[in-house]
Amino acid sequence: MTAVESRPAGALAQVPGNPGERPFGARVKGFVALTKPRVIELLLMTTVPVMFLAAKGVPDLWLVLATCIGGYLSAGGAAAFNMYLDRDIDALMDRTSQRPLVTGIVSPRECLVFATALAVGSTAWFWYLVNPLSAMLSLGALLFYVVVYTMILKRRTSQNIVWGGIAGCMPVFIGWSSVTNSVSWASFILFLVIFFWTPPHYWPLSMKVKDDYERVGVPMLPAVAGNKVVARQIVAYSWVMVAVSLLLQPLGYTGWFYTAVAVVCGAFWLKEAHGLQARAKAGITGAKLKEMRLFHWSITYVSLLFVAVAVDPFLR
């Protein structure tokens, strides 16, 4: 018996099992939810500004639209595959208990077909409407997230989010390649910024919901290590991230505006990271640990940094 089947009957009985009996509007929302729209917003936030940097100004707006649509389809397909593969543990975690496969609004078969269609459609979309290099990068990101992170790393190692996060770095390459049909050192530096940003972005959230991960046996770092260890790792990754973010200016890719934003935002990030570490060292737990302050700031940080990436070419 699977974990989904072993969930209390009331949780799965919220929605009728017959597709014909499930409300159309709810099913549409369910399929949209499979794509994790809020996560994709963040991915596109790192794609579009890089296109401005690559174009050294305003890129072709049709190309921007085509890249965003292709990126949404690809990332949405990866998310749907992830929910299909993780439906057993999603049913046991409070944070994911309302996902479409858990509630029954979408069946596993429907999810798998939907995910496959998005994967194939996004690759074809990029290939014919953007360029083949962007199509291959997009497909590579999808396969890395589904196979390497979800199927191999997630349930086996506490370093899952570190290496699995590579998939989330790929939109930087996709944004650059969509404009230039190539990659560059600038895109590689921004790739590294997202690579080192991902663990200290996700670990504070994992600290908040570590009971969920412990319950299902997923070795996310906060579920297998104490708060002091996790906070120390967050600080280490944070310093490297900020240092890497400052490399664009000396290499000639950005000017004063991006550098000023990177310095100010990076300083505030380090203040929050060290504050979390200080509270962890003091043995503070529960709400007073305030780990979600860094999580919420991490989203603001990456948004501001990449807005600066887009604006900087106009101020040089």
- Mean pLDDT, rounded, for 65-86: 96
pLDDT at 15: 47
C-alpha 207/C-alpha 304 separation (Å) is 25
pLDDT at 43: 85
Per-residue confidence (pLDDT) for residue 32, from 0 to 100: 95
Weakest-pLDDT range from 9-13, 93-97, 126-130, 228-232? 9-13
What's the burial of 274, exposed, middle or buried (CB within 10 Å: 0-12/13-18/19+)?
A: middle
19-33, 48-62, 76-90, 266-280: which has the minimum mean pLDDT? Answer: 19-33
All residues at 6 or more sequence positions from 257 whose CB lies less than 8 Å from its CB, including other chains: 308, 311, 312, 315
Instruction: Give the model's confidence band at 4: pLDDT under 50 very low, under 70 low, under 90 confident, else very high.
Output: very low
Q: What is the pLDDT of residues 110-151, one digit of tens each?
A: 999 999 999 999 999 999 999 999 999 999 999 999 999 999
Give the number of other CB atoms < 10 A from CB of residue 314.
12
List, in order of start, the domains of the chain with CATH numbers: 25-160 (1.10.357.140), 184-315 (1.20.120)
C-alpha of 241 from chain center: 16
Q: pLDDT at position 41, please?
A: 85
How high is the pLDDT of residue 271? 97
Cβ atoms of 54 and 314 within 8 Å: the answer is: no
Q: Name residue, tokens 């996709």.
A: 174
pLDDT reading at 13 higher than 80: no
Q: Could you read off the pLDDT of 199-209 as tens digits, one per residue?
A: 999 999 999 99
pLDDT of 103 > 80? The answer is yes
- State pLDDT tens for residues 39-60: 888 888 999 999 999 999 999 9
| Residue 316: per-residue pLDDT | 81
Indicate the average pLDDT of the chain: 92
- Mean pLDDT, residues 151-178: 96
pLDDT for residue 6 is more than 60: no
pLDDT at 3 over 70: no
* DSSP assignments along 30-76, one per residue: HHHHHT-HHHHHHHHHHHHHHHHHHHTSPPPHHHHHHHHHHHHHHHH
- The arithmetic mean of pLDDT across residues 11-32, rounded, is 70
Amino acid 21: pLDDT: 67
pLDDT score of 286 more than 80: yes
Q: What is the structure's pLDDT at 20?
A: 55
Question: Taking the model in full, what pTM does it have?
Answer: 0.90
pLDDT at 39 (0 to 100) = 86
Mean pLDDT of 49-76: 96
- Say if residue 1's pLDDT is above 70: no
Q: What is the pLDDT of residues 305-316, one digit of tens each?
A: 999 999 999 998
In angstroms, the CA 40 to CA 167 distance is 12
Query: Tell me, what amino acid is at 249?
Result: Q
Query: pLDDT at residue 19 above 80?
Result: no
The angle subtended at Cα 118 by Cα 137 and Cα 28, nearest 5°, is 140
**Averaged pLDDT, 143-164:** 96
